[in-house]
Amino acid sequence: MKVSMDIELKDVPGQLVSALIPISELGGNIISVLHHRDRKTQRGTIPVQVVFDVEESKLAALLQRLRERGITVVRVGAERLKEAVFVLLIGHIVRSGVKELINEVDGTGVAEVVELFLSMPAVEEKSAAALKIRAIGKMELERALDIVEGFAARCGILVVRPIEDEL
């Protein structure tokens, strides 16, 4: 799970390291650290934004350890669905029951259809849909895409996927 956390540190040496140690102790992987020295608070503390990956079950323990170290956690924003993909569908999408497709993807519990744009030129003509799917990881995203491919194959719909960039 990707977590974005705003913390405040006292302006004394060693504070940043002290705040990052618990994350690594709990197996977290730090993605970025923004140290806003220019935005000192009225209390004289320095806001720091840390983004990291950690198992969902470890988050409570992490907050506890930070508290024990006297670090103020201002905000915790967990982004559960961190992987996203954009696909196009072309065919008789509404007639084929796109709602069931969305339910099936959402029903996995690990992926969700978060955006759907439909373009329907005329009643008997094929429509086009842009689908944005988010999932908790790459494997789960692949599973959601398999569901989309299965639906498309059953209904004679063409799926246009992105050219994979990790060449």
Partner 1 sequence: MREVKLSIVGFGVVGRGVAEVVARKRAEIGERFGLDLRIVAVVDLWGAALASDADGGGLDPRRILDALQKGGAEGLSPRESLEAHGVRVEELQSPDVIQEVEHDVTVEATPTNVDNDGEPGTSHILTALKAGRHVVTSNKGPLALHFNKLMQAAKRADRKIGFEATVGGAMPIISLRDTLAGNEILCIKGILNGTCNYILTRMGEENMPFEHALREAQEMGIAEADPRSDVLGVDTAVKLVILANALLGLDAAYKDVRVTGITEITPEALSLARDNGYVIKLIGEVDRDGKLEVAPKLVPETHPLNVGGTLNAALLKTDLAGEVMVVGRGAGGIEAASAIISDIIRIFKN
Binding residues for partner 1 (CB under 8 A): 86-88, 90-91, 117, 119-121, 125-130, 158, 160-163, 165, 167
26 vs 114 by CB, closer to partner 1: 114
21 vs 160 by CB, closer to partner 1: 160
Q: Are 5 and 49 in contact (CB under 8 A)?
A: yes
Please state the closest distance from residue 114 (CB atom) to partner 1, in A.
13
Please state the closest distance from residue 68 (CB atom) to partner 1, in A.
45
Please state the closest distance from residue 31 (CB atom) to partner 1, in A.
22
Please state the closest distance from residue 42 (CB atom) to partner 1, in A.
41
Burial 40-66 (b: 16+ CB within 10 A, else e): eeeeebbbbbbebebeeebbeebeebb
26 vs 130 by CB, closer to partner 1: 130
68 vs 125 by CB, closer to partner 1: 125
Burial of 83 per CB tally in 10 Å (0-12, 13-18, 19+): middle
Q: Are 50 and 20 in contact (CB under 8 A)?
A: yes
Q: Are 5 and 58 in contact (CB under 8 A)?
A: no
Please state the closest distance from residue 90 (CB atom) to partner 1, in A.
5
- How far CA 166 is from CA of 32, 65, 140, in Å, comes to 21, 37, 17
Q: In what order do the strands lie in the sheet with 127-135?
A: 111-119, 127-135, 83-91, 158-160
20 vs 128 by CB, closer to partner 1: 128
